[in-house]
Amino acid sequence: MSTQHSRKANEFVKDTAVVDRHDATFWAVRSRRDTMAHEVPEWEDLREAASRIKKHTVTHLADYLEKFAANAGRNGVQVHWAKDADEYNAIVLEILRAHDVRKVVKSKSMLTEECGLNDSLIAHGIDVVETDLGERILQLLGVPPSHIVMPAIHITREQVLECFRAHGIIEKEGRKAADSMNGDLDKLVAEADPTFLTRCARYHLRDNFMTADCGMTGANFGIAATGEVVVCTNEGNADMSTSIPPLHIVSMGIEKLIPDYESMAVFQRLLARNGTGQPTTVYTSHFRRPRPGSEMHIILVDNGRSDILGNEDHWQTLKCMRCGACMNTCPVYRRSGGYSYSYFIPGPIGINLGMLRDSDKHYGNCSACSLCCSCDNVCPVKVDLSTQIYKWRQQLDSMHHADPMKKTMSEGMKVMFDHPGLYTAALRMAPLANHMPSWLTGIAMGPWCEAHDMPRFAKKSFHQLWKSGLDEK
C-alpha cells in the first residue's frame, strides 16, 4: 500500500536517529500530560464539561456571535466578518493600508496559516515578523511548521545557529546575548547553546517590537459575555506584540467562542496541561478594549466552519481548541513527523480538518492511522477523532479514492469493529500490524504498545469509551 502519507513518511523514517528523537520528545510530552491529569482529581469532569460547553456553544453559535460582536463593539473594538480566506486577507490588508503599516509583528496563529496571510502581506510589500521563537526560526528558514504547538520541534540547535548566522543575528546580537548570561561568546557559539540562541532571538525580536506599526494575534478563546479575546502564550510575545504598536488586529475562527468566564476556567485548566504538560501557560491575556490612543480590530473568520457545522459526522471537529495533545500521543505522528501529512495541521485532528478542507488533496492522510484510539482518550474536549477517521475511510470508496489495498484494510477494520471480541483478540495478538503500512511495522512495537496502555484515570473500559464515542452520534 502506498499513499501520499506513507511515501512521505518513508522519507522521514530513513533517518532513525531523527525518528527516535521525535518519538521520544512527544512521548515525553504525552507523559507530562498524564502526570498533570493525575494531579487534578476532577480531570474527567473537566473534560466532560469542556466537551459539553463546546457542543452547546457551537450549536448556538449564531446567538453567541451576535452577543460577542455587540459586546466587543460596545468596548470600542471594531469587528469584521470574513466568509473565507480571500475576504479575510483583504480585510487585513485594508486595515493595514488605512494605517500606513509597513511592519507587522505577529504572534502564532493557526488561522493566519490556514488563510495564507503572510504570503499575501509580503506580496503587498508589508514586512511580517513572526515573534514566537519557533515560528520565527521557521520563517527565517523558509519552511512550514511541523506541529501546531511546537512548530520547530524537528529543527536542531545547529540548524538554528546556522540560520541566525546567515541572517546576521549572531553578529548583531551575539555579544549582548553572551553578556546577559555572563558567558563566553565563542564557547556559546561553538556549543550552539539553546539559552544563548534564545537570547539572540530575544534581542533581535525586541528591535522589531519597538519599530512595528501593528501587532497581530490569534485568539485561543472569545468570550461572548464580555466581548473580549483570550490569548495564551509562554513567551509573552503576544503581549509584547500588542502593548507597543498602536494597532492590534485579532484573527479569530468563529468556533473559538465560549459563553463566559465560568467556562473559561474549564478551558484554562485544560489547555496547557494537555498541550505541553504544564499546569498553565505563562500568560493568559485578556484583551477587552483598545489601548488608550490605539485601535483594536477583531476579524471573525468562517472559512468553511459553518459548513462543517452541518456535517453530521464531522461537526465535532469544531470543538477542537488546538492543544496538540492528539498529535503528541499518536504513534503514527510520533514516528512519521509533521511533514508526512499533506495538510498544514498534522496528526489526528489534521487528518480530519484536511479532509474537510479538500478531500481530493488530503485523502492520503487517512491512511496515517492505525485506529488505536489513543487520540480520543487524550483529547480534552472529546473530539471523536478516530471514529471520524474510520468514517472517512469508509467514504473513500464513494469518493473514488479507495485503492483495492486500502479497501481491504477498511473492510478488515469494519469486521473488527463490528465484532468486539475479535477486535480485543486482534489487539492482544496484534495481527492488526498486518494491515499497517510497512514503515510502521518495520519498527519496534514499543510506542505502539504504549499507546494501548489505557490511561490509569479512565473510568470506562476501552470498549465503553469506543461505544460511547459511537453513541454520541
Partner 1 sequence: MSRLRGNVRETYDMPDLSFAKLVYPDRVGAFIKTATTAAGASVIEMQEGDDINELIRRAYPNAKTIASNVPGVKADLNPDDVAKPQDLDGTDVSVVAGSVGCAENACIWIPQTMKQRAVCFICEYLVIILDRDNIVSNMHEAYSRIEMPELGFGAFISGPSKTADIEQALVYGAQSFCGVTIILR
- Indicate whether 266 belongs to the interface with ligand SF4 (CB under 6 A): no
Q: In whole angstroms, how close is the CB of 201 to ligand SF4 at the nearest point?
A: 26
- Indicate whether 426 belongs to the interface with ligand SF4 (CB under 6 A): no
Considering the complex, state which of residue 151 and residue 218 has its C-beta at the smaller distance from partner 1. Answer: 151
- Indicate whether 271 belongs to the interface with ligand SF4 (CB under 6 A): no
Pattern 242-281, binding to partner 1, x per CB under 8 A? -xx---------x----x-xxxxxx-xx------x-xxxx
C-alpha to C-alpha distance for 415 and 328, rounded to whole angstroms:
29
C-alpha to C-alpha distance for 344 and 145, rounded to whole angstroms:
7
Listed ranges 198-206, 223-231, 324-332, 465-473: which one lies at the site for ligand SF4 (CB under 6 A)? 324-332
Q: In whole angstroms, how close is the CB of 370 to ligand SF4 at the nearest point?
A: 4
- Indicate whether 15 belongs to the interface with partner 1 (CB under 8 A): no
Considering the complex, state which of residue 294 and residue 394 has its C-beta at the smaller distance from ligand SF4. Answer: 394
Q: By rule CB under 6 A, what count of residues binds ligand SF4?
A: 28
Listed ranges 239-247, 251-259, 380-388, 452-460: which one lies at the site for ligand SF4 (CB under 6 A)? 380-388
Q: Report the 3 state secondary structure along the chain.
A: CCCHHHHHHHHHHCCHHHHHHHHHHHHHHHHHHHHHHHHCCCHHHHHHHHHHHHHHHHCCHHHHHHHHHHHHHHCCCEEEEECCHHHHHHHHHHHHHHCCCCEEEECCCHHHHHHCHHHHHHHCCCEEEECCHHHHHHHHHCCCCCCCCCCCCCCCHHHHHHHHHHCCHHHHHHHHHHHHCCCCHHHHHHHCCHHHHHHHHHHHHHHHHHHCCEEEECCCEEECCCCEEEEEECCCHHHHHHHCCCEEEEEEEHHHEECCHHHHHHHHHHHHHHHCCCCCCCEEEEECCCCCCCEEEEEEECCCHHHHHCCCCCHHHHHCCCCCHHHHHCHHHHHHCHHHCCCCCCHHHHHHHHHHHCHHHHHHHHHCCCCCCHHHHHCCCCCCHHHHHHHHHHHHCCCCCCCHHHHHHHHHHHHHHHCHHHHHHHHHHCHHHHHCCHHHHCCCCHHHHHHHCCCCCCCCCHHHHHHHHHHCC
Q: Which residue has the cell 526560526?
A: 137
**Residue 322 binding target from ligand SF4, partner 1, none, CB below 5 to 8 Å by type:** ligand SF4
Q: In whole angstroms, how close is the CB of 365 to partner 1 at the nearest point?
A: 25
Query: Of residues 69, 205, 373, 409, which one binds ligand SF4 by CB under 6 A?
Result: 373
Query: Of residues 247, 325, 355, 413, which one binds ligand SF4 by CB under 6 A?
Result: 325
Using alpha carbons, list the distances in angstroms from residue 110 to 149, 265, 308, 389: 9, 23, 18, 22
Listed ranges 238-246, 296-304, 318-326, 411-419: which one lies at the site for ligand SF4 (CB under 6 A)? 318-326
- Indicate whether 370 belongs to the interface with ligand SF4 (CB under 6 A): yes
Q: In whole angstroms, how close is the CB of 171 to partner 1 at the nearest point?
A: 19
Pattern 107-146, binding to partner 1, x per CB under 8 A? ------------------------xxxx--x---------
- Indicate whether 223 belongs to the interface with ligand SF4 (CB under 6 A): no
Contact between 232 and 272 under an 8 Å Cβ cutoff? The reply is: yes
Contacts to partner 1 from residues 187-206, by CB under 8 A: 194-195, 197-199, 201-202, 205-206
Listed ranges 13-21, 65-73, 168-176, 328-336: which one lies at the site for ligand SF4 (CB under 6 A)? 328-336
Contact between 446 and 440 under an 8 Å Cβ cutoff? The reply is: no
**Residue 157 binding target from partner 1, ligand SF4, none, CB below 5 to 8 Å by type:** partner 1
Contacts to partner 1 from residues 209-238, by CB under 8 A: 209-210, 226, 228, 234-237
Q: In whole angstroms, how close is the CB of 397 to partner 1 at the nearest point?
A: 25
Query: Of residues 9, 53, 189, 321, which one binds partner 1 by CB under 8 A?
Result: 53
Considering the complex, state which of residue 19 and residue 389 has its C-beta at the smaller distance from ligand SF4. Answer: 389
What length is written for the chain?
Answer: 473
Query: Of residues 72, 330, 366, 440, which one binds ligand SF4 by CB under 6 A?
Result: 330
* Alpha-carbon Rg for the chain in angstroms: 23
Listed ranges 309-317, 377-385, 412-420, 433-441: which one lies at the site for partner 1 (CB under 8 A)? 309-317
For residue 136, what is its C-alpha cell? Answer: 520565527
**Residue 310 binding target from partner 1, ligand SF4, none, CB below 5 to 8 Å by type:** partner 1
User: For binding to ligand SF4 (CB under 6 A), which residues are involved?
Assistant: 320-326, 329-332, 348-349, 369-375, 378-381, 383, 385-386, 389
